[in-house]
Amino acid sequence: MKDRRKRKGIVSWSAFFWSTLLLAFSCILFTTLAFSPFSTFHDFSHSIKWENTLRTNFHATITIRETVLLPDQALLFLNYPSSFRFHAKRDLLCLYFSAHSTHMLTQPPIQLHFTRFREQIVRCALPPRGNTVSLLIKSEGALPTKDSSTHKWTPLVYEALFDRDNTTIVFVKGLNLRPEKLVEPSRFQCIYGWDFVKPKFFLKSDVMSVAQEVIRCKTPKSILTGQDRPQSPTQAQAQAQSIKVSIQMKGKEIFPSVARPGLRPPDSTSKQKAHEMCICTMLRNQARFMKEWVMYHSKIGVQRWFIYDNNSDDDLENVISFLRSVGYNISHHLWPWVKSQEAGFAHCALRARASCEWVGFIDVDEFFHVKEKEGLHSVIWHHAKLENNVGEIRTPCYSFGPSGLREMPREGVTVGYTCRLRVRERHKSIVRPEALNQSLINVVHHFHLRSPFVFVDVESSVMIINHYKYQVWKVFKEKFYRRVATYVADWKEEQNVRSKDRAPGLGTKAVEPKDWANRFCEVKDMGLRNWVLRNFLDRRTRLLPWQPQFEHHLRRKRWRRKEEKPFFFVYPIPLAMVDAITQTQRVYTVVLKEASAERGPTRPPPTNPSHNVKRKVAPTVGEGATQKKGKAITQPAPQPSAPQPSACQPYPAPCPLIHVRAQSGGHLDRS
């Protein structure tokens, strides 16, 4: 009995062997099925991952990151997921609502702008008092505003960028500092982080310089290390999008901020800059002058343009797109910040430094009038190349008046306005970005330079700036809306009324004086007008390339080539001579000297007399020529009679055009 009880707890060797073998076989079978491409387990896990991806994409949505309330409009910063497409203006509506009412208002946005980091800025009208502004996507619904923050315009840290010397440039509104004065930097601190409400989520760094609205900070090493670490473009973009920077005055609260410095600029190893001469400008609703301004300065040597758009709502984007399509190198940068031209110029100087040797800071109504044949490059070479420590070239300005006009000149400002004041006004500058002071101080288009760089003045006999400041009243009254400069009083303010920045004797009200068209006319200056007509006027159409009719002419010309219209000549003919031209069955040439039409061959003669054409001719006895069937005899083409110069005025009144068509029953068309 005792032996039986002991054997009940003992397993035989054969049972143990077969159990172990069965367990090993089961493990092998399970592993094979689990990792097989035909296994149902893999399909199930894959379906779970796919379902989670669908849920993630479904919940991902466009968000309103922040809202800034400017004095006249609201800026809404939209953040797009990587898989979403950008919406167009027609897809969105500005939505206004109140927490205490169910009534909602909608209005089309003023304008849309695309920025870095898959962001879009939507400009809406200011919300009514007590209301909140949001956005409504027509196809999806209203965007949530729960996690977004709304900031007033001042105080606010509105822009920031990393500089190449491991510093951060921060642009701040609300410091109220004096112009051209440095401030003790120890009073400030720079704050980096993701959430400025919780102290454990941000870093502090020292300030190196403070002046006007620009603060230069030391970038924390952890942020520099994070950007230097190898990572994919998506990861770098996500990191740059998340880090914000702000400032704090000691003993006070942190400034609200919408500034994200982005990525560090790449180090340039090439000493030779891509462009010798660039131009930077800040504008608002100046699209109608852009073509003339860009085309003219390209002719005298400018190679690239930086356009800082200060909340334009005209056709500026389409004009810039057209200029780009025909080969002009233009960068369009949104700068919506009110009365911050000096900060914008500092920002532009840093952007242009990598590719431009020299940068001119002028407005769209200002034109360099170079009186040397070689253009701007010759002026720069004579004033700067001989001395390497020249960092700024200052050019005086002449202010032009309406010149007796009451409507905008259709030929453009350089041809239309020819009367100016006698006394020269403030200068504008061409700056070498490498020579700028660390503080980036600039006032009235000139910068402070670092040692040992100096500035030089250009003589008016070499180069001058034509400033078309006092144009026709329809254009000039737009200056009363708001000035872009920080330290220049608006036209409506009762401050510095006698300043040179004001119109003499005008006052602070946008009321047109009776004699406005004849004001500011002391000297008749036709220099730039004559140069423009010599170099830009199309002798056939009597048009300038920036006139709208010129573009229409080119379109018609292309269309006629495609449609294979009958061949015709177009000559400018004075109206007094039209009646003297006789109509014949076939008219091919118009001789202006005799004012009569001559009969010609069935085809018009070639324009190049020296070109030999092949045509079939009948042999004559006098020539003794022979011709075989199917062969052509080479014979010089007859000399066409050259048209005489037009007797009408060269400009601004263009001559009427008479189209003389080569067709049966020829007739004359006036156009």
DSSP, residue by residue, 486-521 = TTS--TTSSSSTTSTTSPTTT-SS----TTGGGSS-
What's the fold here for domain 275-500+509-536? Answer: Spore Coat Polysaccharide Biosynthesis Protein SpsA; Chain A (3.90.550)
Residues near 247 by beta carbon (within 8 Å), at least 6 away in sequence: 157, 170, 172, 188, 189, 190, 191, 207, 215, 217, 254, 255
- pLDDT of 85 over the 50 cut: yes
Angle 616-618-623 from CA coordinates, rounded to 5°: 115
312 contacts 283 by C-beta, under 8 angstroms: yes
CATH assignment of 63-152?
2.60.40
250 contacts 189 by C-beta, under 8 angstroms: yes
Measured distance CA(433)–CA(453) in Å, rounded: 11
**Four-point Cα dihedral 349, 353, 358, 362, nearest 10:** -20
Q: How confident is the model at residue 222 (pLDDT cuts 50, 70, 90)?
A: confident
| % pLDDT > 90, the chain | 50
Indicate the burial class of 584 (C-beta count within 10 angstroms; 0-12, 13-18, 19 or more). Answer: middle
**What is the pLDDT, as a whole number, of residue 566?**
43
Nearest to 535 by CA among 410, 358, 412: 412
**What is the pLDDT, as a whole number, of residue 231?**
55
Plot region of 55 (φ>0 → left; ψ -120 to 50 → alpha; else → beta):
alpha
Residues near 458 by beta carbon (within 8 Å), at least 6 away in sequence: 379, 383, 393, 394, 395, 396
**What is the pLDDT, as a whole number, of residue 278?**
98
Q: Which span out of 239-248, 354-363, 493-502 was modeled with the highest average pLDDT?
A: 354-363
- Structure-model confidence comparison of residues 15 and 168, the more confident one: 168
Measured distance CA(394)–CA(424) in Å, rounded: 13
User: DSSP assignment of 114-130, as one string?
Assistant: EETTTEEEEEEEPPPTT
Residue 209 dihedral angles phi and psi, to the nearest 5°: -155, 150
Measured distance CA(671)–CA(668) in Å, rounded: 10
- Please compute the mean of the pLDDT values over residues 392-406 and round it to a whole number: 96
Q: What is the pLDDT of residues 598-647, one digit of tens each?
A: 444 444 444 444 433 333 333 333 434 444 444 444 444 444 443 333 33
Lowest average pLDDT, out of 24-38, 464-478, 489-503, goes to: 24-38
Q: Is 447 helix (H, G, I), strand (E, B) or coil?
A: strand
Lowest average pLDDT, out of 28-42, 163-177, 343-357, goes to: 28-42
pTM (two decimals): 0.74
Q: How confident is the model at residue 264 (pLDDT cuts 50, 70, 90)?
A: confident
CB atoms within 10 A of CB 499: 9
Task: Point out which residues pair with 309 in neighbouring strands.
Answer: 283, 334
- Please compute the mean of the pLDDT values over residues 360-377 and round it to a whole number: 93
Where do you find CATH 3.90.550 in the chain? 275-500+509-536
Q: What is the pLDDT of residues 561-610, one digit of tens each?
A: 655 544 333 333 333 333 333 333 333 333 334 334 444 444 444 444 44
- pLDDT of 418 over the 70 cut: yes
- pLDDT of 649 over the 80 cut: no
**What is the pLDDT, as a whole number, of residue 241?**
64
112 contacts 88 by C-beta, under 8 angstroms: yes
- pLDDT of 290 over the 90 cut: yes
Measured distance CA(467)–CA(420) in Å, rounded: 9
- pLDDT of 232 over the 60 cut: no
Instruction: Share the mean pLDDT of the chain.
Output: 77
**What is the pLDDT, as a whole number, of residue 181?**
93
**What is the pLDDT, as a whole number, of residue 230?**
56
CB atoms within 10 A of CB 484: 20
Lowest average pLDDT, out of 389-403, 497-511, 520-534, goes to: 497-511
Q: What is the pLDDT of residues 184-201, one digit of tens each?
A: 999 999 999 887 877 777
- pLDDT of 650 over the 50 cut: no
Residues near 421 by beta carbon (within 8 Å), at least 6 away in sequence: 398, 399, 400, 401, 520, 522, 523
Is it true that the peptide bond before 155 is cis, omega within 30 degrees of 0?
Answer: yes
Measured distance CA(381)–CA(360) in Å, rounded: 15
**What is the pLDDT, as a whole number, of residue 310?**
94
Lowest average pLDDT, out of 116-130, 173-187, 309-323, 346-360, goes to: 116-130
- Structure-model confidence comparison of residues 564 and 72, the more confident one: 72
Q: Is 609 helix (H, G, I), strand (E, B) or coil?
A: coil
**What is the pLDDT, as a whole number, of residue 631?**
42
Plot region of 375 (φ>0 → left; ψ -120 to 50 → alpha; else → beta):
left
Angle 165-168-169 from CA coordinates, rounded to 5°: 110
Nearest to 428 by CA among 277, 279, 274, 213: 279
Where do you find CATH 2.60.40 in the chain? 63-152
- Structure-model confidence comparison of residues 524 and 55, the more confident one: 524
Give just the sign of the alpha carbon dihedral 34, 39, 44, 47. Answer: positive
Lowest average pLDDT, out of 299-308, 526-535, 657-666, goes to: 657-666
Strands 668-670 and 657-661: antiparallel
- Please compute the mean of the pLDDT values over residues 437-457 and round it to a whole number: 92
Task: Point out which residues pair with 307 in neighbouring strands.
Answer: 281, 332
Nearest to 540 by CA among 414, 638, 671, 373: 671
